[in-house]
A = this chain, B = another copy of it.
Amino acid sequence: MNYFTVTAGDGRSSARCGVLETGHGIIETPCFMPVGTKATVKGLTPRQLHEEVGAQIILANTYHLFLQPGEQLVGELGGLHAFMGWDGPILTDSGGFQVFSLASLRTLEEEGVTFQSPVDGSRHLLTPERAIEIQEVLGADVIMAFDECTPYPVDYETARRSLRMTARWAERCKTARRRTDNLLFGIVQGSMYPELRRESAELTREIGFDGYALGGLSVGEEKSLMYEMIDMTAPLLPREQPRYLMGVGKPEDIVAAVAAGVDMFDCVLPTRNARNGMYFTWQGPLVIKQARYRTDSLPIDEQCSCYTCQNFSRAYLRHLFRSREILSSVLATIHNLYFYHRLMEKIRMQIKNGTFADFMKNFISNYDIS
C-alpha cells in the first residue's frame, strides 16, 4: 500500500511535501495535529475545527481515554471518530508519555508499566500489547508504538538500556497489531546522545513501521541541542515514509524541523496558551491581559483572516479574558490553531515553490520569539 507520497522537495534543505493517505482522508504534509486529549480539542466543535481552522487530522490521548471513559465504551459507540463526531483522520499516542509522567505512581518492568489511576486510584498494567489493543479499539488511523520516553537529563548507560527496551517493546507492538486499516509508527529514543539516537533509529527501522517518530525531545533540553538531535536523526529514517516529531512545538521549532525533513507535528501550545490568553501572531506572541490592549480596537493580527481577527478587537478579547468568559478560550483557540495551520500551509507552499530556505531565514529573523 503506497499510503505516503513525497510530492515535492525543497532542493536546498531536507524539507519535503507529501501526501499521507488514511482511512479517513488524505493529509497534506508537513502538517500540524491539534491535540484533542479527551476526545475534544478543548472548546471547539468539530464543525469549527473543519470550517474555522481547516484541521486535517487531530490527535487524541490513549492514556486519558483509557482512564475516562474507557476504550471499551468508545469502541461500543463505534470508535473515536463516531464518539467525538470527527470524521477526519485521528492519531492516538500510546499512552507511554503520560504514564511515565506519573513519576512515583508507577513502576517500570520489562513486561510494561504498572500505575495507579489519578482518577479513581485503581491499579493498571500498561504493556505494549495492551497499548496497541486500546488504540485499535479506539480505532485511530495512525497508532503509536508503546515506548519509554527517556527522562532528561540521563546518563549514557540508562539511556541505552531505555532505548533498547523501547525497541523490544516496539517489536511486541508490531506483533500485537490486529487491524489492517491503520498505520503503526515506531518511536526513536536515545536521549541527547547522537550514537544512541543512531542505534535507536537502526533498531526501529529493522523492525519496520509505517512511519517513524522522534520521541524524547522538548523534554527540558536546550533548544540548540534539540535541533541538533532532529537534524542528525531525521536523515536516518526512511525517506519514503512519514516522520513525526512528537510534542513539538513552537512555530520556529516546526520551521526548523521541517528543514530537517520532518512531516508531522503535534503540540498543546496553541490550544493551552489560548486558554491562558496568549495569541500567536506573525510578529510573535501577544499576551491579551496586558493593560496596553485595554482600548485597542485592532484585531489580534492585522494579517490574519481567522474568524476571531475578522470580528473582534483586542479590547473585547481582553475583556473576555479578564471576565474569565468561556468565549475567551474559544476565540483564542480558533485564532491560534488557524495561525498554526496557515503556518503549515505557507511552509508547504514555500517548499513547492523551492523558496523554503529563504522563507525560513526570513521567518526566524522576523518572527519575534521572545
Contact residues of A with B, CB < 8 Å?
A: 38-40, 42-47, 68-69, 73, 76-78, 83-85, 294-295, 297, 307, 311-313, 315-316, 318-320, 322-323, 325-327, 329-331
Given A295-B73, A313-B83: A42 touches B326 (CB 8 Å cut-off): yes
Given A297-B77, A315-B77: A327 touches B69 (CB 8 Å cut-off): no
Task: Give the oligomeric copy count.
Answer: 2
CB pair A312–B85 under 8 Å, yes or no, is yes
Q: Which residues on the B side are within 8 Å of A315 (C-beta)? A: 69, 73, 77, 83
A319 to B294, CA, bound (A): 38
The residue on B at minimum CB distance from A51 is B47
Instruction: Quote the shortest CB–CB distance from A23 to chain B (angstroms).
Output: 20
A195 to B226, CA, bound (A): 80
The residue on B at minimum CB distance from A333 is B326
Instruction: Quote the shortest CB–CB distance from A85 to chain B (angstroms).
Output: 4
The residue on B at minimum CB distance from A326 is B43
Instruction: Quote the shortest CB–CB distance from A351 to chain B (angstroms).
Output: 33
CB pair A44–B327 under 8 Å, yes or no, is yes
The residue on B at minimum CB distance from A84 is B316
A85 to B69, CA, bound (A): 37
Given A68-B322, A326-B329: A316 touches B77 (CB 8 Å cut-off): yes
A75 to B83, CA, bound (A): 44
Q: Which residues on the B side are within 8 Å of A294 (C-beta)? A: 69, 73
A18 to B48, CA, bound (A): 35
Given A47-B307, A311-B46, A313-B83: A323 touches B68 (CB 8 Å cut-off): yes
A68 to B77, CA, bound (A): 44
CB pair B325–A42 under 8 Å, yes or no, is yes
CB pair A327–B297 under 8 Å, yes or no, is no
Q: Which residues on the B side are within 8 Å of A39 (C-beta)? A: 316, 319
CB pair A43–B327 under 8 Å, yes or no, is yes
In the complex, which of the residues B313, B322, B326 contacts A326, with contact meaning CB atoms closer than 8 Å? B326
CB pair A45–B327 under 8 Å, yes or no, is yes
